[in-house]
Amino acid sequence: MRIAVGQFAATEDWPANLKSCLALVDQAVAGGADLLVLPEDSLALFIDEPARIAEVAQPLDGPFVTALAERTAGTSVTVVAGLHEPAGDGKVFNTLVAVRDGALVTSYRKIHLYDAFGSRESDRVRPGDGEPVVFDCAGWAVGLMTCYDVRFPEIARLLADRGAEVIALPAAWVRGPAKERHWEVMTVARALENTCYVAASGECGRRNIGASMIVDPLGTVRARLADAPGLAWATADREELDEARRRLPVLANRRFAVDPAIRPLEEWC
């Protein structure tokens, strides 16, 4: 499977962000991508007034997702991207969509909200409470998780339990001391401990680090970007995956199961 991860600097203007996304879709199609992963917050990014996210949030049948889906019509690419979706109570969901051949394939609402390093995502975003999402892409099982989710190995393991061979990881990783190191260490760890590929897309710009990367099942970073807009490419190989899981059978050797039950909101919010 041919994988591309793309990054750009999102703004408060969602039509401009859509234009950036569509340009990356066109480049991915031209390069023969089966899977394109775009960042979290691809719809709009409000740095100074985060509460305004609710003003531009769109439903999954709104113009942003519809335009992304339409751009994939007649192609073989599946596009994963992030947006904020109205939650119906003044808050929003931080949602990923996967679109292919003109249609929505699946969606995932971010489970772990970024209440860390002085931020309070839960003040404006409701967490998802559904099952981990895995879908088929070009004969590969692809799991979805978002940004802060990468700090919680349980969700990646649950995706592996459900057959994920590739994890798509859109993010908007905020700059800060040692934060780039955190991003790389945990992205590589999620690939290595589950012997799967991780396709991680990071939003770039004045707040976020970019640093998109594609990691193979033995933890080698096959492709990466720095902090400028662009695409990075790698190929997921079935024989390579099978050999990694034969040589390093951590999924078969583990002794503990992961309980998929989600803690009630009132216990942590």
Q: Which CATH number do you get for residue 151?
A: 3.60.110.10
What is the distance between the alpha carbons of residues 103 and 61, in angstroms, rounded to a whole number? 10
The catalytic residue among 137, 147, 196, 204 is 147
Is residue 19 part of the annotated active site? The answer reads no
Residue 20 domain-assigned (yes or no) = yes
What is the distance between the alpha carbons of residues 235 and 35, in angstroms, rounded to a whole number? 10
Rounded to two decimals, the pTM is 0.97
Residue 33 domain-assigned (yes or no) = yes
| Averaged pLDDT of the chain | 96
The catalytic residue among 110, 121, 196, 204 is 110
Residue 267 domain-assigned (yes or no) = no
The mean pLDDT of 259-265, rounded to a whole number, is: 84
Residue 266 domain-assigned (yes or no) = no
Note down the domain range covering 22: 2-239
241 phi-psi bin (left φ>0, alpha ψ -120 to 50, beta other): alpha
Residue 269 domain-assigned (yes or no) = no
Residue 174 domain-assigned (yes or no) = yes
Render pLDDT for 90-107 as a digit per residue (tens, 0 to 9): 999 999 999 999 999 999
pLDDT of 166 higher than 80: yes
Q: What phi and psi, each to the nearest 5 degrees, are found at residue 132? A: -55, 145
Is residue 179 part of the annotated active site? The answer reads no
Q: Where does the pLDDT of residue 264 fall: very low under 50, low under 70, confident under 90, or very high at 90 and above?
A: confident
Domain count along the chain: 1
Render pLDDT for 128-137 as a digit per residue (tens, 0 to 9): 988 899 999 9
Q: How many whole angstroms from its chain centre is CA 178?
A: 21
The catalytic residue among 40, 85, 121, 203 is 40
Render pLDDT for 19-61 as a digit per residue (tens, 0 to 9): 999 999 999 999 999 999 999 999 999 988 888 999 999 999 9
Q: Where does the pLDDT of residue 268 fall: very low under 50, low under 70, confident under 90, or very high at 90 and above?
A: low
